Structure 1
Amino acid sequence: MNTATDTASPLEVLSFRLGNEEYGLSIQKVQELRGYDTVTHIANAPDFIKGVVNLRGTIVPIVDMRIRFNLGAPTYDQFTVVVILNIGGRVIGMVVDSVSDVITLAPEQIRPAPDMQGAMESACIVGIGTIDSRMLILIDIDKLMASPEMGLVAEEAF
């Protein structure tokens, strides 16, 4: 995902909610959207790995971002969405509270991420998108999924 300093063209992002915040990630990483369904649990997996599903013959790990970001106990209802991502050739499912829409951000609508020393995932936040009174926290999903805490994608895969 580009930051405000190197973005020359509009950026299309999928906006989604986790708790009270709205996030955005590059639409180019999204393969499909699915409702939350039963997963097969994996023994000794981290709490945020809900398990795996079989998606048309591909075994896909399912990550609950609410648990990953310590945003309280997740609830799974008709609004819960699994965003199927394709990152570095690996398919990963990401559980979010809801998906809003696809938004096109012009370069002037993207502000640099604030410097938040010690924030858990601050290296994965690439900017803040502004749309009228809304703010989207723009995340670099590649970096997030390759982070040592997640360990789902090898960094050299991009």
Structure 2
Amino acid sequence: MNATIQMEKTDSQAPRDIDRAEHEVREDTRDGARRELVAFRAAAQDFCVDIMSIREIRGFTAATVVPHAPDYVLGVMNLRGSVVPVVDLSRRLGLGATQGDDRHVIIIAMVGPQMTGLLVEAVSDILSIPEDEIRPTPEVASEAARGFISGVICEGERLLRLVDLTRLLPPEQGAQP
């Protein structure tokens, strides 16, 4: 009986703990001290995005093809009644197509005003990185790569590219220019 009461108390506190954690992340970002990032793999390379843009991470679900969509748009999926476009992130970054299967995941993120699914190989970490450790994208990168990548982070032996989600979709598809 006590265990049940304790469980109920813990469950009722969970939303407040989540709200408090989200508030702390927002404060850190505003102060410029740290950025909370979700790290993932696409095309066998390491990337990351700001955690505040992530809505959820789902197992792979095949998308319904949309005729005449750009080649990096796999199609759309039904997410609790919302139609969400699914982008092959590897292909969009110019790294080749991904053959999605049960080992892959879809990151549901806000890309501008549009909720969008990003097909990736796997989510690996949640990182808290000091702002001053985010380096500019090297000039040797192509113009296209610099357009999608807003910075580079050295994290141990890994080199992560920080993806600018607002540039993934053209303005006519709902993202910001």
Shift of 1:154: 4.1
TM-aligned CA distance change 1:154 to 1:106, over 3 Å: closer
Following TM superposition, where does structure 1 have runs of at least 4 consecutive aligned residues deviating by more than 6 angstroms?
none
2:86 maps to what in 1? Answer: 62
State whether structure 2 residue 63 is matched by structure 1 residue 44. no
Match among 124, 129, 139 for residue 105 of structure 1: 129
Shift of 1:18: 1.1
Q: Distance in 2 between matches of 1:143 and 1:7?
A: 25
Calculate the TM-score normalised by the size of structure 2.
Answer: 0.74
Q: Distance in 1 between matches of 2:109 and 2:130?
A: 23
The one-character-per-residue Cα deviations of 1:26-66 (angstroms, maximum 9, x if unpaired) are 01100000111122111111221111111111100111112
Shift of 1:124: 2.6
2:173 maps to what in 1? Answer: 152
1:90 maps to what in 2? Answer: 114
1:142 maps to what in 2? Answer: 166
Q: 1 or 2 for the larger relative contact order (CA 8 Å, sep ≥6)?
A: 1
Q: Distance in 1 between matches of 2:87 and 2:50?
A: 18
Q: Which segment is superposed worse, 124-133 or 26-35?
A: 124-133
RMSD: 2.1
TM-aligned CA distance change 1:58 to 1:8, over 3 Å: same
Q: If you compute each CA radius of gyration, which structure gives the higher value, 1 or 2? A: 2
Match among 29, 42, 56 for residue 18 of structure 1: 42
1:76 maps to what in 2? Answer: 100
SS of 2:117's equivalent? strand
SS of 2:61's equivalent? coil
**Number of matched pairs:** 148
Gap runs ≥5 in structure 2 = 1-29
TM-aligned CA distance change 1:90 to 1:79, over 3 Å: same
Q: Distance in 2 between matches of 1:22 and 1:154?
A: 23
Q: Say which structure is richer in helix.
A: 2
Gap runs ≥5 in structure 1 = 1-5
1:123 maps to what in 2? Answer: 147
Shift of 1:117: 6.2
Q: Which segment is superposed worse, 22-31 or 110-119?
A: 110-119
